[in-house]
Amino acid sequence: KRHAVEAFKTLNYRIFAAGDSYNDTSMLGSADRGFLFKAPDNVKAEFPQFKSTQDYDVLRAMIDEAAREG
């Protein structure tokens, strides 16, 4: 997952990624903005640098906000 993010970044894409578990954290860290989506409490506690939500509409709003911020 991280390698895919890095490949898209070499093409000058801005990358927003969402994931729910430990196996997603390197991807989230490589993305321009990473979000935890429906992640268990222990993952949210261990990776507080990523905004988190359980709701699709909130995730969409967070992505929209990140896109506007540039």
* pLDDT, tens digit, 9 for 90 and up, residues 12-27: 999 999 999 999 999 9
Q: How many CB atoms lie within 10 A of CB 1?
A: 15
Number of other CB atoms surrounding residue 28 within 10 Å:
23
Q: How many residues belong to the chain?
A: 70
In a 13 Å sphere around the CA of 30, the CA atoms on its Cβ side amount to 17
pTM for the predicted model, two decimal places = 0.91
- Domains and their CATH numbers in the chain: 2-69 (3.40.50.1000)
DSSP single-letter state for residue 70: -
Q: What is the pLDDT of residue 32?
A: 97
